[in-house]
Amino acid sequence: MMDVRKKIITRAVLEIADGMNVNLGIGMPTLIANEIPANYNVLLQSENGLLGIGPYPVESEVDANLINAGKETVTAVDGSSYFDSAESFAMIRGGHIDLAILGGMEVSETGDLANWMIPGKMIKGMGGAMDLVNGAKKVVVVMEHVNKHGESKVKQACTLPLTGKNVVHRLITDLAVFDFTEDGMILSELQEGTTIKEVQEKTEASFTVSPQLMSNQQ
């Protein structure tokens, strides 16, 4: 599982450019914080009220009062700031977040995202995902390609409650990278060791293959 996540995270960090304001969702996306190049001036925003999240702390740096939206202890970079939830969501809804990288339970071929609840299971709340998918300038979803039963999480239509419709710009899995455009869902990259055939076999959604990727495979 860690190898799968490492593959996804390594690719996802390439979405971050120097100078960006970025929100990393709960779960796998939070691991990206430790992979951002040290020479990048990137401000990580958390919807619970922190702009300027640093890497996870070593034991001697742990401050129980300094946490991200997933209740994990974090560090803060020089120049970071703290604010209430109203200010935080004003940043998100005002279009000031350049990139949101979120986890996913399901993504559909039309870019719908389901990532906030499974019916019948206890949840603490929807968090900030519904605002992020509508307020961030770019939404990238990271998730394993199939679930623990081997079923595709890249669906024709989501079966779980939606976080947002037509909101995903890019999907990164352990097998591939997909882009969502006016022409539909496009397979644009393959993860190392993966073939187009394998992706087709493990993907319920309909998609086309980028001509550039196709030519590289021939």
How many structural domains are present in the chain?
1
* Catalytically annotated residues: 47
Termini Cα distance of the chain: 31
pLDDT of residue 215: 61
Distance CA 92, CA 15 (A): 18
Distance CA 112, CA 91 (A): 23
* Three-state SS at 30: helix
Enclosing domain of residue 182: 2-217
pLDDT of residue 57: 92
Using one digit for the tens of pLDDT, what is the confidence trace for 62-71?
A: 999 999 888 8
The CATH number assigned to the domain holding 19 equals 3.40.1080.10
∠ at Cα 161 (160, 164), nearest 5°? 115
Q: For residue 72, how many C-alpha atoms fall within 13 Å in the half-sphere facing its CB?
A: 19
Q: Where are the beta strands (DSSP E) in the chain?
A: 21-24, 43-46, 50-53, 76-82, 99-103, 106-108, 113-114, 139-142, 154-155, 170-172, 176-181, 184-190, 208-209
Q: Measuring CA to CA, which residue among 43, 128, 132, 130 is closest to residue 95?
A: 132
The stretches in the chain having pLDDT less than 50 are none
pLDDT of residue 1: 55
Using one digit for the tens of pLDDT, what is the confidence trace for 126-169?
A: 778 999 999 999 999 999 999 999 999 999 999 999 999 999 99
